[in-house]
Amino acid sequence: MMTKRNDYRSLREQMVQSQLMPRRIRDGRTLGAMGRVPREAFVPEKYRHSAYDDRPLPIGEDQTISQPYMVALMTEALELSGGETVLEIGTGSGYQTAVLAEMATRVVSIERISTLAERARAVLQQLGYTNVTVLVGDGTRGCAEHAPFDAIIVTAGSPGVPVSLKEQLADGGRLVIPVGSRGYQELNRIRRRGNDFITENLGGCVFVPLIGVQGWEWH
């Protein structure tokens, strides 16, 4: 089934109005970014007609592009006003990366699976995002080279909060991360105030595991 560009635009508007606004996504910048980024470009061809469905979708390599609402909730929780440098762990399809790139000055995104990183890099480049760097590696170590970060987002479920990410968070910065078991996590927002880290629970969620030295073991 062929879907035309205008149809996608209208599906995108519907997604914002029927999935995000009724669930209390209030930040106008988040709603605006999600209303602009063409999610269909980040989804494998065979799922393209489902790009705006209210659910995650497979992107290959046993990984997923997150549900639009979860992308919006995590983005809003970062409290971006436009001047920030953001670190994302788990590039996946690159969709969340594009939403962040619409809202911040610079985005560094790390993906452990090189085929996904390459594909995301190509789509982001094709769409004209010049303020994004996609790196391949273990994001649980963060990226000391570009630290400190005003905001850090982890889009995979972690058994705990990686120490490197806390260390690389700027004073006043926000770290949004799902923490829990392999099968279920709580979405945490952690604010840094000097050497204090204040945690808020934003609710339950289910993510693929964060695999790495400060995450889960691969098995």
155 binds ligand SAM (CB under 6 A): yes
113 binds ligand SAM (CB under 6 A): yes
Contact 105, 83 (CB under 8 A): yes
210 binds ligand SAM (CB under 6 A): yes
215 binds ligand SAM (CB under 6 A): yes
Contact 123, 41 (CB under 8 A): yes
Alpha-carbon span 52 to 125, nearest angstrom: 22
Instruction: Look at residues 93, 111, 100, 106 and name the one whose alpha carbon lies nearest to residue 43.
Output: 93
Taking the complex as a whole, the smallest distance from the CB of residue 144 to ligand SAM amounts, in Å, to 15
Binder of ligand SAM out of 30, 93, 164, 185 (CB under 6 A) = 93
Binder of ligand SAM out of 15, 25, 110, 205 (CB under 6 A) = 110
Taking the complex as a whole, the smallest distance from the CB of residue 173 to ligand SAM amounts, in Å, to 19
SS3 per residue for the chain: CCCCHHHHHHHHHHHHHHHHHHHCCCCHHHHHHHHHCCHHHHCCHHHHHHCCCCCCEEEECCEEECCHHHHHHHHHHCCCCCCCEEEEECCCCCHHHHHHHHHCCEEEEEECCHHHHHHHHHHHHHCCCCCEEEEECCHHHCCHHHCCEEEEEECCEECCCCHHHHHCEEEEEEEEEEEECCCCEEEEEEEEECCEEEEEEEEEECCCECECCCCECCC
Alpha-carbon span 122 to 41, nearest angstrom: 11
Taking the complex as a whole, the smallest distance from the CB of residue 94 to ligand SAM amounts, in Å, to 6
Which residue lies nearer to ligand SAM by CB, 30 or 140? 140
Which residue lies nearer to ligand SAM by CB, 194 or 218? 218
Which residue lies nearer to ligand SAM by CB, 44 or 193? 44
- Residue in 10, 50, 66, 158 annotated catalytic: 66
165 binds ligand SAM (CB under 6 A): no
- Catalytic-residue membership of 181: no
Residues 12-31 that bind ligand SAM (CB under 6 A): none
Binder of ligand SAM out of 138, 186, 202, 206 (CB under 6 A) = 138
173 binds ligand SAM (CB under 6 A): no
Size of the site for ligand SAM (CB under 6 A): 26
Q: Which residues bind ligand SAM (CB under 6 A)?
A: 63-66, 89-90, 92-93, 95-96, 110-113, 116, 138-140, 155-156, 207-208, 210-212, 215
| Residue positions annotated with a catalytic role | 66
